[in-house]
Structure 1
């Protein structure tokens, strides 16, 4: 595409404050694809095949619907939507050619694709974990990561909680590495379980002497 080149596009949004109009050539170049995506609703389940794996996510070729004029698949899953657990390598979760069922999240009008979620079709391990623990309960865990404001401790498979710096010891410290290292085993107490944000707050300081 060159400056001055004439194009045919559909107006997607208009920003009156900025004085900008957002256009899509996909709407006019692939009307069948545009019509298909506009008729989709959040929560719908699509079946398809992993068509390509990129560092920013994976493309899915859907069983139903037209092909994409540019991308390997009409469906796209971002990294956070691949799994409930932290993903180090996308190939650990999916492989090219693998069959998947995904939930439709939204119509990405910018890229002309269906944003999908693989993890939405799977049970959330955090919610199951939250059902089994209570505030004040003592757990055993392993330090997985040190950050300036505390440490993350894995207390179950795929479940990590944060021990804030002030909850590490009864004596204030400036940095977590002064008292712990990654890989250390640690006894902690559950101080808060946030189901909505999937966050687990822990304390080492509040562990009773008998539990250490």
Structure 2
């Protein structure tokens, strides 16, 4: 009789247990056995609690992170279970791993050497401006911050930074010198904010933002903390404008539509539109019904060129009054003297809806004035006049 017959299922159960232990051992080979303070980890958010949340660490032990570390400036959690996040190990003892989001204040340390080695932020107070940068007091020690590293924007006047506290990253450190950068920290936070933004936003979304600055070519809009987009001049309004200041101002809250999201040389570029954010707000859709050919309308000269006048007849609707239309007109001089901003009466001559073009004319110019240039024929000197009177159904006196 075989062993299998004697022991029955016991042998099979032992084999199954051995196989399970082998598989478990193999699975653990891909895991780290331990982590150390300062280790930087990209882990998956496993759960989000009211006070604390769990993040995978690549070891058999999951890490704890304060839920407030996952919140934005509005105290709202900006992550979801399953999201990946960059964290730093701030404590690993007693079988517990404590984490903090990379770049957050909770990831700080009292040791400047550790902060430099682990790329953790430190808090410092800007003391004074010096040649090429600023002196910063960090834990009683003096550090130097180059002017190009005090902010993510170009800085000319350093006065607004003097006396204020900021978080910095130590970029260079030896026994005599310490160099810090605030810009590097801001860039890290910006990249993270942009990553979260791209996960939840897409082209076509309508959202609100705040105008941060104006340039000749358009307006920059802050959509979320550290995330900016740009509204080109042509996308501010359906009307033709020459500068953003005609439409918006810094600090103003606006509604925009996302036109394009792209990565350009490692930088997130977001193209926005204000005029397209208003649903079916395209004024051209009402042109055929509102301005049929032959309609006489009041307009305003928007631009004067050698070949004619661009005339705005409604918000977002501009037509061209060619110079050839008024050059030979009896009142042509009044059109010649028109300048930008002047009011003018025009007539709709032609609409090219697909091309969004309107050709304008002078009211009444379509009437028959051919008799003005009619030349007498041979014979009666009154022939031409008589023919004209006949056409007008007026009989000459006998």
TM-score in terms of structure 2 length:
0.37
Counterpart in the other structure of 1:91: 245
Q: Does 1:149 align with 2:310?
A: no
Q: How many Å apart are 1:98 and its aligned residue?
A: 1.6
Shift of 1:87: 1.9
> 1:202 offset after TM fit, Å?
0.8
In 2: Cα distance, 1:189 partner to 1:88 partner:
26
Aligned counterparts of 2:300 and 2:193: Cα–Cα separation in 1? 52
Q: Cα RMSD (Å) of the superposition?
A: 3.3
Question: What's the offset of the Cα at 1:116?
Answer: 0.6
Gaps of 5+ in 1: 1-25, 69-73
8 Å contact 2:193–2:226 — kept in the other structure? no
Partner of 2:336: 180
Q: Do the aligned partners of 1:190 and 1:202 also contact (CA within 8 Å) in 2?
A: yes
8 Å Cα contact 1:45/1:104 also seen in 2: yes
Q: 4+ residue runs of structure 1 moved beyond 6 angstroms?
A: none
Counterpart secondary structure, 1:193: strand
Gaps of 5+ in 2: 1-186, 369-398
- Shift in Å at residue 179 of structure 1? 5.5
In the TM superposition, residue 206 of structure 1 has moved relative to its aligned partner by 6.1
Residues 38, 107 of structure 1: 8 Å contact kept: no
Corresponding residue number in structure 1 for 2:210: 49
For residue 324 of structure 2, the aligned residue among 159, 166, 176 is 166
- Please say if residues 138 and 190 of structure 1, whose CA atoms lie closer than 8 Å, have aligned partners that are also in contact: yes
Is 1:119–2:275 an aligned residue pair?
yes
TM-score, normalised to structure 1's length?
A: 0.65
The number of equivalent residue pairs is 173
**What is the deviation of 1:201?**
1.0
Is the alpha carbon distance of 1:31 and 1:142 closer, same or farther for their aligned partners in structure 2, counting shifts above 3 Å? closer
Structure with higher Rg: it is 2
Aligned residue number for residue 194 of structure 1: 352
Which has the bigger relative contact order, CA under 8 A and spacing at least 6? 1
Structure showing the higher helix proportion among its residues:
2
